[in-house]
Amino acid sequence: KQEVTQIPAALSVPEGENLVLNCSFTDSAIYNLQWFRQDPGKGLTSLLLIQSSQREQTSGRLNASLDKSSGRSTLYIAASQPGDSATYLCALTGGSARQLTFGSGTQLTVLP
C-alpha cells in the first residue's frame, strides 16, 4: 500500500526566504505526482503536476522535482511571501490505484 509522508508538518519562515517542502513515498511505481495548496476551510488548488517520466516542473516561483528511485519529491518556493501561507499537500497516483493518495501536508506560515 502506498504511503506518502510530508515533513515537516509545520514550517514558519520570514518573508523573502527560499524554502523547500518535502514529500516521500514508499512505492516508486507512480503515474504522476501533484502538489496542491489549501487555504483554511477551502478546497485544493493545483500547483504543479509532474508526470512519472519527468524530473521537474516549474511555475513562476515554484519548482517541483521528482526522484522516483529515491521515492522523493520536493517543492521549492522562491522568495516567499505572506500570501504563500497555506497548507501544501503532495498527492500521487500509482500502481493499480487511480485515486490520489495524499500526504498529511505541511502548514507553511510566511511572516511579514
Partner 1 sequence: KAGVTQTPRYLIKTRGQQVTLSCSPISGHRSVSWYQQTPGQGLQFLFEYFSETQRNKGNFPGRFSGRQFSNSRSEMNVSTLELGDSALYLCASSYQVDQETQYFGPGTRLLVL
Positions in the binding site for partner 1 (CB under 8 A)? 31-32, 34, 36, 41-46, 49, 51, 89, 91, 93, 97-105
Half-sphere exposure of 59 (CA within 13 A, CB side): 10
Q: Are 86 and 37 in contact (CB under 8 A)?
A: yes
Query: Between residues 30 and 110, which has the closer beta carbon with respect to partner 1?
Result: 30
48, amino acid identity = L
Query: Between residues 13 and 38, which has the closer beta carbon with respect to partner 1?
Result: 38
- Nearest approach, Cβ of residue 79 and partner 1 (Å): 25
Query: Between residues 13 and 100, which has the closer beta carbon with respect to partner 1?
Result: 100
47, amino acid identity = L
- Nearest approach, Cβ of residue 27 and partner 1 (Å): 16
Annotate 65-84 with three-state secondary structure.
Answer: EEECCCCEEEEEECCCCHHH
